[in-house]
């Protein structure tokens, strides 16, 4: 049984804590009174996010934050950090996440995402830290047989190396608990995280052409892109475009704080869906974003994107019943906050 500890006495090591979901989670952890150690190699994030975090949480809470620029796969560096801070819990976000890129760079994706997880859990084990929350994805459900998706819905074959890394890391962490039941593993399956911090100080900062819908819509709204390419309007959905369960990144962040509180003093493996339970189509997103930014957003209909599923959305009753967590923001809130971030930071953190 892992020891039950109060937030003020809990050191949480956050890998990938400078990234989109990581940075929002760090804000909620600091606001919740936790001590936070971030390990991030800044390969897809900016150091400037830490100034923004400090502005949001204030000096007192920010004093509980330590940042190390290091690769999680750098065992000597990670060992030193564990020696120094003796983290009680780990939230593991660090990983490559571009689906298309993973198809052309499978070795890099497997080596980075799986390699860093193996290094991380080995160093955790050496230091007697056996509590981990892993950033998984609804991608493990593949093309669903029925909706909404519950945690009991079957895992399906992944359609790309990125998806396989999520799939396999879930298995690795489950096997770890089988071998040593003292491990305390929470697998959080995110649906589609969008939005930005309501302050307008933090948000998604994709490098190059965005792969995901909402960052692309946001860049079209600001005039950086000519039109949104809608990938297919012949799906079996109300308007023919793909349906997803979009979740505000702040709701996702509070989901991690809820998971930390829930796992406190437990051991086992538990899976939670983090979504809103509501499906929204591509055209509904474009419409909601047009309202948020105050002008029409041009779009063109294109062919389907290979590997895309028709629709997915979550049943989130398990997270509500066990952890007392529920998403609070709706699509209008998500688009408003994305637009607030995009319009005030047209070039992201480097702007
Ligand atoms: C959403 C909808 C597209 C872009 C992916 C990963 C998943 C997770 C989140 C990432 C679909 C349509 C998109 C565009 C479009 N992990 N679309 N034009 O594919 O549901 O999930 O991102 O880190 O694992 O698979 O998200 O935002 O790419 O697409 O029409 O330019 O928007 O076809 O219906 P997806 P998405």
In tens, the pLDDT along 14-63 reads: 999 999 999 999 999 999 999 999 999 999 999 999 999 999 999 999 99
Cα 308 to averaged position of ligand 1 atoms, centre (Å): 8
pLDDT score, position 2: 66
CA distances from 63 to 2, 16, 66, 67, 189 (A): 27, 19, 8, 11, 31
Domains for the chain: give ranges and CATH numbers: 10-194+247-275 (3.40.50.720)
Q: What are phi and psi of 84, to 5 degrees?
A: -75, -40
Minimum CA distance residue for ligand 1 atom 21: 192
In tens, the pLDDT along 254-264 reads: 999 999 999 99
Catalytic residues, which ones? 162
Ligand 1: atom nearest CA of 282 is 32
In tens, the pLDDT along 290-342 reads: 999 999 999 999 999 999 999 999 999 999 999 999 999 999 999 999 999 99
pTM over 0.85: yes
Ligand 1: lining residues by beta carbon, under 6 Å: 97, 99, 137, 139, 192, 211-213, 216, 229-231, 242, 244, 282, 305, 308
In tens, the pLDDT along 179-215 reads: 999 999 999 999 999 999 999 999 999 988 999 999 9
Task: Please state whether the peptide bond connecting residue 148 to the residue before it is cis, i.e. omega within 30 degrees of 0.
Answer: yes
Q: Mean pLDDT for the chain?
A: 97
Residues 6+ apart with CB under 8 A from 312: 138, 141, 144, 147, 149, 191, 243, 244, 245, 279
Ligand 1: atom nearest CA of 194 is 27
Ligand 1: atom nearest CA of 216 is 31
Ligand 1, pocket-test mutation among 282, 288, 313, most atoms within 8 A of CB:
282
In tens, the pLDDT along 231-247 reads: 999 999 999 999 999 99
CA distances from 29 to 38, 54, 62, 153 (A): 11, 12, 10, 30
- pLDDT tier at 167, thresholds 50, 70, 90: very high
Angle between helices 115-126 and 75-85 (to 10 degrees): 40
């Amino acid at each position: 049984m892992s020891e039950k500890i109060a937030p003020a006495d809990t050191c949480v090591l956050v890998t990938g804590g400078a990234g989109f979901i990581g940075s929002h989670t760090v804000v909620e952890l600091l606001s919740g009174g936790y001590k936070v150690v971030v390990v991030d190699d800044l390969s897809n994030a900016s150091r400037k996010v830490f100034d923004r975090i400090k502005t949001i949480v204030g000096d007192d809470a920010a004093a509980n934050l330590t940042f190390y620029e290091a690769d999680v796969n750098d065992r000597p560096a990670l060992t030193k950090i564990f020696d120094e801070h003796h983290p009680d819990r780990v939230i593991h976000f660090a990983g490559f996440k571009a689906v298309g890129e993973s198809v052309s760079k499978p070795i890099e994706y497997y080596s980075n995402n799986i390699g860093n997880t193996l290094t991380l859990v080995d160093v955790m084990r050496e230091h007697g830290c056996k509590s981990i929350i892993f950033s998984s994805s609804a991608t493990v459900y593949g093309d669903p047989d029925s909706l909404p998706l519950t945690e009991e819905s079957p895992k399906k074959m992944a359609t790309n190396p990125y998806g396989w890394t999520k799939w396999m890391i879930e298995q690795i962490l489950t096997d770890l608990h089988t071998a040593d039941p003292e491990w305390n593993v929470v697998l959080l399956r995110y649906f589609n995280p969008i939005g930005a911090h309501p302050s307008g100080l933090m948000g998604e900062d994709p490098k190059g052409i965005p792969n995901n819908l909402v960052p692309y819509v946001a860049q079209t709204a600001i005039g950086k892109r000519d039109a949104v390419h809608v990938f297919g309007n012949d799906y079996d959905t109300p308007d023919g475009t793909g349906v997803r369960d979009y979740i505000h990144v702040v709701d996702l962040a509070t989901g991690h704080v809820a998971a930390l509180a829930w796992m406190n003093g437990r051991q086992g493996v538990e899976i939670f869906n983090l979504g809103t339970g509501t499906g929204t189509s591509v055209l509904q997103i474009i419409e909601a974003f047009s309202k948020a930014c105050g002008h029409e957003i041009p779009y063109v209909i294109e062919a389907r994107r290979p590997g895309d599923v028709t629709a997915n959305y979550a049943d989130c009753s398990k997270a509500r019943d066990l952890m007392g967590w529920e998403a609070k923001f709706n699509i209008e809130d998500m688009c408003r906050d994305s637009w607030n971030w995009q319009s005030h930071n047209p070039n992201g953190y480097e702007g």
